[in-house]
Structure formats: C-alpha cells, structure tokens
Structure 1
Amino acid sequence: MSENALTYYLYAFTHLKFDKSKGDAPHKPVLLISILQAFERKLIADSQIYITPELTDLFKTNWNLLVTTNHTLGFALPFYHLKNERGGWWELVPKPGCEIWLQNAGSMKTFGNLNAAVAYAEIDQNLTILLKDEQSRTVLKQALLETYFPGQVFTNPGFPNNHLNDLKREMLEESPAEYIAKLKSLKTRLDPETYQIEVYSRDSIFRREIVRLYDDMCCITGARVSAPYSFSMVDACHIVPFYKTFNNHPANGIALCPNLHRAFDKGAISIDDDYCVIVSTTFVESENSAYNLKMLAGTQIHLPKDEQFLPDLKAFAWHREHTYKG
C-alpha cells in the first residue's frame, strides 16, 4: 500500500467530525480502534464490517479503558455517522426494505434500530488493505490514541473474549430463573443502549450455538448452506418462546430454515414425542406445490450429536398444547 493512502487515512482518522456540544465525542475513535483490533484478531477479514457480539464487546471494553469524560456509551450513532466523514470511505448497506429508514438519522439513535436496519458497513478498498497490514494498523491506532486520548495508558483487551465466554456459560449452566433475574438486574443497572447490546449478544450466542449444534442444517429438510457467521440460511428457533420462560438453553431450540421457522411459530407444524413432524390440517395449501407442508408429515428431524443438547420433549409438548393448530 502506498504512503499516500496511509497519509490520507491518518489525516481522516485524526480529523473526524464531532458533535461539539459536549466537547470532542470519543465514540468514533473508540469504534475505529475496535475495528483495528477486530482486523488484528481476524474477526474481520474484508471490507464488510458487520455488527457482531465480538465487535460490540471490543467497543464496550475499549470505552471503559479510554473514556474518562461524562459521555454516554453509544455504539449506534458512531457506526451510523461515520458515513458522513469526508471522502465517503464508510458506507452503510441497508437490509432489504430498510433503505428509507437509513435516511432518517433520528431513527438510528438506538442499537436495536441500527441492528434491525443495517446489514453491514462497507469500507473503502484502500482502507481495507491498510487494515489488513500490521504496520499500518499500528500507525493508525497510535494516531487515534495520541489524538483523542493523549497521555492515557492503553492495553489491548484479552482474547479470547472472557465476557462472551461467560455469556455462553450462563446460557448452558444457569436455570431460566437465574437467567431472567440477571437480565432484570442488568436492565436496572445499565443505560438503555448498553442493555440492548447485552441482550443482542445473548441472543446471538444462542443462535450461534443452535446453528453449530445442527451443523448449519435445517433439522427438518436437511438443507445446509455453510457461510460466515454474519450470514446463514438457517434460523435458531426457540421451541417455547423466550419471553414465556426465559429459557435460552440449546435444548429449548432447533435449527430451521426461515419458512419452516415461521410455520413452527404460527403452529402450522410441530414435533411429536418421536421427534417426527406433525402438520396441522387447519391450514389451506396449494396441492400442486413441490414444497407442500403435508409432504413433511412423519419426517424425523435431524438431532444434535451431543445428547445433552437434544431438544426437550417437554418443550415440544408445550408447543403442541399452546401453539400448534392441530
């Protein structure tokens, strides 16, 4: 990469646009430092910057290490407003149907809205090349620290991430009662944005574990599409809805392709005590369709290899009684 490109981005990173109402806001520098670390740890490998639990956790950790002013932690606004930097080196790619939503900056103030509307951020290819290079990353990170956090001692957060490991342990080991008690406690202690990020991280870990346990495969059809964690053709489906019992253990989940996920949630299908699909007769279908739900009746679902994560038959019984339209 040419010296001109590095010089350009050194200037861009050290002359970021800020809301001056509370002095130079630290949000954008903290986000950029977190992205540099994500490249260093191979969490990001190309020009597409996805919102992931690893990135949000790096952001929170760096915020706590670096920010000494009275600013409130916020991931959504810097991720959104980097698109306004000179040179257009950060562009937001909306999720389908959210194009107009992204045009309204006011709607992007919360993490939940950002995550719902944004597929990923796309960075300039020249910047991508710089961020893949260790020496360039070091120079850019040092410039950010010296410009926005002068005199502060900065230590890279540990890796692998202890917080995300703790969340996974809680999901596997804690009872639903303990889990909901912790969530209620967090909601009273954390600001709304940090709480939204915490809930998002927990949901993402549940989804990743279910997809991993079922080997990226729909447990009914056997359809599998392997892809990076930012994209998958299967969903993690709670058997008993999370809001009912706050049970995030993998035994309360199965992996389904999106159309069957909706059919399961709406009660068009369920699973019996032999782990076989049952199909409701109350739904009208096109008899000529090659994807008729009735064709799935009696299909035995694919199960995780690890027996401790087999879907809970009591949860399926609850689903048949309260959701299934038999």
Structure 2
Amino acid sequence: MVDALGCLTRLRVGQSRGNPAPNKPCLMLAIICEIQAGHITSPRVVIDTRLISRYHELYELAAGSRHEARPWLPLWFLASDKGPDGAAGSLWQPELSPTLAGVVDQLGAPRSLDQLLKRFGAARLHPELLARLGSEQAAREAGAHLITRYFAWSPDTQAKLHDYLDEAFASGSYEKSPEQLKGSSPVSPQQAKARSAAFRSLVLEAYDYRCAASRLRYITPDYRYLVEAAHLVPFAESQDDRPSNGVALTPNLHWAMDNHLIAPGPDHRWHVSPTVDALVPDSRWLCELDEQPLVLPRDPRWQPDREALAWRLAHLQR
C-alpha cells in the first residue's frame, strides 16, 4: 500500500456498540467523493453544505441513522491523526485564527456544528494525500482500505458503502465534465442513475438549495434538502441533464411545473396558466407566483438555457 494512503488505516477512532466508530472513516470517504467530483481541488477543504450532506449520507449507510452523525466531532478530532509523513496532526489542519490558535487546547471539543464553524470554516488536507486521491484508481483503493479496516464487522455495510462509492465516482465524473450530460440516453441503469445524481447535485448547488420560484431554502438538521432538481425540457425529449436545463424547486412547485400550470419564461419571470382560477382560495399559492422573478444561479454557466425556458412557456396550459 502506498504510504500516502496507508495513513487512512491508522485513524484514531473510538468505539461504538463494540465496533470502530464510523465518524472519521465516513468523513474521509466523503472527502474522497468530493475530490472525485471535482469539488475539492486544493489542500484547503471548505466545510460546506455539500461535504456535510455527503458525510450524513455515508454515516446513515454505516450506522443506520442520520440523527447521530455529529459531523463536528470528526471535523475536530481528525486533527489528532498523523499524515503520510508520520507527523502528528498533519493529516488535517484546521484554519484557526492566530487569536484562537493560542487557546484552542483549552476550549475542548465543540458541541455542535455551529460551534465548530465559529472556530474554523476550512481545514488543510495533507497535500500528498490530496495528490494521491486525485487519481480514481488511488481513490478507489483508499475507499476500499477504509471500508475494510473500519467496517469489517458488517459485510452488509461494506457492500452498501462500496455501492455508494461506485455511484459517487460515476456521478463525480459527470460533474467534472457536465458537457457529458447532454446526449443519447445512458446505455445502462448505472449510467442513468449516475447522470441523475450529477444533475441533482449540480442544480441544487447552483441554486444554493433555494427554490427558484418561492425562494424557500431549508436544510434539515440531518442535511436533507427541501428543494428538488427539476428538468425544464423533460429528459425523455431533450436527453439533457446539464444544469442549464434544470431549476431547483420545492416538491409542490416541481409538480405544478411538470403539469404545465406554471412556467419560467425567457424573460426570467414566472408565468401562471390562465386555467388556474384566481378566485378559488386554494389556487392563490400559485396565482401569487405570476410575474414574480425567477431566482438565478450566480454562476452564469448554470443559468437556465433560453430555449429551454421558451419550451416551458410554450407548453403552459392555455
């Protein structure tokens, strides 16, 4: 085993129900997935929504529950682990302010994610380890060693984690090259699932997990999102999973758009079908959306395609 990866099998983990605690291994698996998705590209790892959500997904597979994930613990205690060169604390180095660095040993472990983020919002992953994990082959090897080393007690859990990594790596390949998301239908169910996952991830991140119509943004304490990724031109017709063919919507508004009761137009405003009766009280939640501005991604690459918006408006019920 390459030593840069060997450090992952020497994590200092506690015990949970008589087995190795899954916190640190799940965090490292999440980091590996985010590297393969092109979201982490430098040793500086930002503790953002994507990473924490990914950690919760893996923790749920490993422990059967999202509610006990407590991401602040591995984010904090990973700093005590040795990196590839054997230097203590070099695997993960939180970016602490000079003022906080002098007293951090007296603070004790944080008791919530908010408390941890007040101490640091990013940390540095050992650059040698990052370089190795940039290779898909090495990333798969690292994932296999983490799963074998810390989840040997459950073949079923190992299988679930391996399946998760397979899908994450396939989805990550699309995320790094989103131009691949337009074209003929995927040739296998696995490809279809990976494309769908990449579409969802790119769209929700582009809109910062906020509904493009209602502006609602809600992430549960165990990191589930209120919004869904909705195609502008249906995939069956467009064969297009690029984020420019999608918007983030709450489930009720996703349903309304798919049923052509509302549509975002090329004017970047929402339009409501005249078939929706404004005099019916239960219709007001839709009618109030008429002529409201469409929430747009900050990144111009992911803003809705004008032809896709025109398609939606043309198919509004008249």
Q: Normalising to structure 2: TM-score of the pair?
A: 0.51
Q: Which moved more, 1:227-236 or 1:262-271?
A: 227-236
Deviation at 1:137, TM superposition (A): 8.4
CA-based RMSD of the aligned residues comes to 4.4
1:314 is matched by which residue type in structure 2? E
Deviation at 1:141, TM superposition (A): 4.5
Mapped to 2, the partners of 1:289 and 1:274 lie a distance apart of 27
Mapped to 1, the partners of 2:210 and 2:16 lie a distance apart of 47
Q: Which residue of 1 aligns with 2:65?
A: 122
Contact 1:219-1:301 within 8 A present in 2 as well: yes
User: Of residues 168, 171, 191 in structure 1, which corresponds to 2:175?
Assistant: 168
SS in 2 for 1:255: strand
Mapped to 1, the partners of 2:148 and 2:215 lie a distance apart of 45
Contact 2:273-2:316 within 8 A present in 1 as well: yes
2:29 is matched by which residue type in structure 1? R
- 1:233-252 to structure 2, matched below 5 A, reads 233-252=226-245
Mapped to 1, the partners of 2:228 and 2:14 lie a distance apart of 43
Q: Which residue of 1 aligns with 2:296?
A: 303
Q: Which residue of 2 aligns with 1:278?
A: 271
Q: Normalising to structure 1: TM-score of the pair?
A: 0.50
Mapped to 2, the partners of 1:258 and 1:251 lie a distance apart of 19
- When the two structures are aligned, how many residues end up with a matched partner? 204
Is 1:267 aligned with 2:269?
no
CA deviations over 1:48-75 (Å, ceiling 9, x no partner): 615xxxx9xxxxxxxxxxxxxxxxxxxx
Taking structure 1 as reference, are residues 272 and 49 closer, same or farther at Cα in structure 2, changes over 3 Å only?
same
Structure 1: 5+ residue stretches without partners = 11-33, 56-89, 91-120, 149-157, 188-194
Taking structure 1 as reference, are residues 2 and 36 closer, same or farther at Cα in structure 2, changes over 3 Å only?
closer
Taking structure 1 as reference, are residues 49 and 144 closer, same or farther at Cα in structure 2, changes over 3 Å only?
closer
Give the percent of matched residue pairs that are identical in Structure 1 and Structure 2.
21
SS in 1 for 2:310: helix
Deviation at 1:47, TM superposition (A): 9.5
Q: Which residue of 2 aligns with 1:324?
A: 316
2:237 is matched by which residue type in structure 1? K
SS in 1 for 2:271: strand
Mapped to 1, the partners of 2:57 and 2:207 lie a distance apart of 27
Mapped to 1, the partners of 2:269 and 2:66 lie a distance apart of 46
Structure 2: 5+ residue stretches without partners = 1-12, 31-53, 82-145, 159-164
Contact 1:285-1:292 within 8 A present in 2 as well: no
Deviation at 1:313, TM superposition (A): 1.4
Taking structure 1 as reference, are residues 212 and 48 closer, same or farther at Cα in structure 2, changes over 3 Å only?
same
Q: Which residue of 2 aligns with 1:38?
A: 26
Mapped to 1, the partners of 2:57 and 2:241 lie a distance apart of 32
2:204 is matched by which residue type in structure 1? V
- 1:97-176 to structure 2, matched below 5 A, reads 121-122=64-65, 140-141=150-151, 163-170=170-177, 172-174=178-180, 176=182
Mapped to 1, the partners of 2:242 and 2:222 lie a distance apart of 20
Deviation at 1:311, TM superposition (A): 0.4
Contact 1:47-1:124 within 8 A present in 2 as well: no
Taking structure 1 as reference, are residues 274 and 123 closer, same or farther at Cα in structure 2, changes over 3 Å only?
closer
Mapped to 1, the partners of 2:289 and 2:16 lie a distance apart of 60
Contact 1:36-1:141 within 8 A present in 2 as well: no
CA deviations over 1:128-179 (Å, ceiling 9, x no partner): 9xx979999886546779xx9xxxxxxxxx9xx7544312134x223723xx
Q: Which moved more, 1:250-259 or 1:37-46?
A: 37-46
Taking structure 1 as reference, are residues 278 and 137 closer, same or farther at Cα in structure 2, changes over 3 Å only?
closer
Taking structure 1 as reference, are residues 3 and 277 closer, same or farther at Cα in structure 2, changes over 3 Å only?
closer
Contact 2:27-2:55 within 8 A present in 1 as well: yes
Q: Which residue of 1 aligns with 2:107?
A: none
Mapped to 2, the partners of 1:221 and 1:143 lie a distance apart of 46
Mapped to 1, the partners of 2:219 and 2:65 lie a distance apart of 22
CA deviations over 1:209-232 (Å, ceiling 9, x no partner): 111111111111211113479511
Q: Which residue of 1 aligns with 2:199?
A: 206
User: Of residues 207, 213, 218 in structure 2, which corresponds to 1:220?
Assistant: 213
Q: Which residue of 1 aligns with 2:141?
A: none
Mapped to 2, the partners of 1:4 and 1:213 lie a distance apart of 37
SS in 2 for 1:259: helix
Deviation at 1:295, TM superposition (A): 1.5
Deviation at 1:287, TM superposition (A): 3.4
Mapped to 2, the partners of 1:213 and 1:254 lie a distance apart of 9
